[in-house]
Amino acid sequence: MLRSADLLELGVNADEIRKKLHPESIVTFVVDRNINYTNVCINKCRFCAFWRDADSPEAYLLDKDTLFKKIEETIALGGTQILLQGGLHPSLNIDYYKDLLRSIKERFEINIHGFSPPEICYIADSADITLRETLGLLNEAGLDSMPGGGAEILSDRVREILSPKKIRSARWLEVMETAHTLGMKTTATMMFGSIEKPEDIIIHLDSIRELQDRTGGFTAFIPWSFQPGNTELKNKKAQGKTGKDKAYKAGNLPETVEYPATAVDYLRVLAISRIYLDNIENIQASWVTQGLKMAQVALRFGANDFGSTMIEENVVASTGVSYCVSKEDIVCAIRSAGFKPVQRDTCYNLIREY
């Protein structure tokens, strides 16, 4: 199917499954803000344009006042959630994270959707405690649910090239399973369109499907395509430069990406995700990487959710891809695609119809 199925047939099949799961013809979205508390990260993934070294002039760690102000603005705009994510900062420990969560919860009534599995593992390893203990402590301090970031492709062959320092697939799945058994809901993501093969995508979908069968803890699946701008993985020829990149010289694989995923690739992967993951209720369209117009088309290829309004977004924007979109734009895009726009909360409870 990934290699050769007819695209429109895939779309029809995915749309049928979407209709069975969501017969009411609504498309949901959440009003939230991405707060990236730091861009300092020791992992230095090759597909990421966001990270900085601790001594870079562009490195930052948000202070509490700035963070609180961002949350106040989010609530004023009708926001119900903050997505709190950052790099793996070598100077932060579990006490920092517990204090941060507590101080937010003391001041605001807002869902904290935070810390993807690589951050959780980093916090656990620095504190020398188990994943279960770490998640339990963070949950107690105010962490409500978790985003499915850091998955990229759950195939270690690919991870060794894309992000050699990042946690491997089994560990990503272990964090999610532990969170689910503690009662925390999470999403799952997949970044495709870099150096993976169709088989790697199937391994990824299968791992997510298998875990979902056991725990039921994933609320949504979000496939999005690699954005090469400003990343080490971008083909050097495409940047008008010659020579091998640093990772290649260091003995890693020489693969770079010359042609990122097209709109057709996106729709194909999206439709197959809807078909394969029929045990996950919601599939998100990624307007952040595809733009609003493609996100509208995605609603006929299996997606039933527009994700977040993202009052602020920094990670994809670092690659040079940035769509300026308001809540009104999202409402209008959903309506003109033939669906009823409805604001939801993190757990997909419906809040307000438009």
Tokens of residue 112, six digits: 């904290």
Tokens standing for 73? Answer: 């603005």
Q: Which stretch binds ligand SF4 (CB under 6 A): 44-52, 220-228, 241-249, 339-347?
A: 44-52
Residue 85, amino acid: Q
Query: Does residue 228 bind ligand SF4 (CB under 6 A)?
Result: no
Contacts of 190 (CB under 8 A, 6+ apart): 151, 152, 153, 154, 201, 204, 205, 208, 221, 222, 223, 224, 269, 273
Q: Are 290 and 263 in contact (CB under 8 A)?
A: yes
Q: Does 300 bind ligand SF4 (CB under 6 A)?
A: no
Looking at residues 302 to 321 of the shown chain, list those that interact with ligand SF4 (rule: CB under 6 A).
Answer: none
Choices 39-47, 96-104, 271-279, 297-305; region in contact with ligand SF4 by CB under 6 A: 39-47
Q: How far is the CB of 40 from ligand SF4 (least distance, A)?
A: 9
Is 187 near ligand SF4 (CB under 6 A)? Answer: no
Interface region with ligand SF4, contact rule CB under 6 A, candidates 42-50, 130-138, 153-161, 236-244:
42-50
Q: Strand, coil or helix: what is 223?
A: strand
Contact between 40 and ligand SF4 per CB under 6 A: no
Phi, psi of 350 (to 5 degrees): -80, 135
Rounded-to-integer distance, Cα 23 and Cα 16, Å = 10
- Supply the Cα-derived Rg of the chain in whole angstroms: 19
Q: Contact region for ligand SF4 (CB under 6 A) — 19-27, 37-45, 65-73, 153-161?
A: 37-45
Q: How far is the CB of 293 from ligand SF4 (least distance, A)?
A: 27
Choose between 227 and 282: whose C-beta lies nearer to ligand SF4: 227
Q: Does 44 bind ligand SF4 (CB under 6 A)?
A: yes
Q: For ligand SF4, which is the closer residue by CB, 218 or 226?
A: 226
d(CA 13, CA 302): 8
Short-list 294, 283, 312, CA closest to 28:
283
**Local structure of 256: helix, strand or coil:** coil
Q: Could you tell me how many residues of this chain bind ligand SF4 (CB under 6 A)? A: 12
The whole-angstrom separation of Cα 55 and Cα 63 is: 17
**Residue 192 is a binding residue for ligand SF4 (CB under 6 A):** no
- CB of 139 or CB of 163, closer to ligand SF4: 163
Out of 10, 35, 48, 311, point to the residue binding ligand SF4 (CB under 6 A).
48
Report the alpha-carbon distance of residue 56 to residue 39 in Å, rounded. Answer: 10
In angstroms, give the least distance from the CB of 150 to ligand SF4.
Answer: 6
Nearest distance in Å: CB 102, ligand SF4: 24
List the one residue from 10, 17, 27, 41 that touches ligand SF4 (CB under 6 A): 41
Task: Choose between 94 and 277: whose C-beta lies nearer to ligand SF4.
Answer: 94
Q: Walk across the sheet containing 81-85 and list its strands.
A: 32-36, 81-85, 111-114
| Nearer to ligand SF4 (CB atom), residue 115 or residue 218 | 115
Which residue type sits at 324?
A: C
Tokens of 40: 């300092």
CB of 146 to ligand SF4, least distance (A): 14
Q: Is residue 163 near ligand SF4 by the rule CB under 6 A?
A: yes
- Positions 112 through 131 that interact with ligand SF4 (CB under 6 A): 118
Residue closer to ligand SF4 (CB basis): 46 or 274:
46
Choosing from 43, 126, 215, 230, the residue that interacts with ligand SF4 (CB under 6 A) is 43
Q: Amino acid letter at 249?
A: K
| DSSP state string for 139-204 | HHHT--BB--TT-S-S-HHHHHHH-TTSPPHHHHHHHHHHHHHTT--EEEEEEESSS--HHHHHHH
CB of 41 to ligand SF4, least distance (A): 3
> Which tokens is 217 given?
């803890």
Provide the binding-site residues for ligand SF4, judged by CB under 6 A. 41, 43-45, 48, 50-51, 87-88, 118, 163, 166
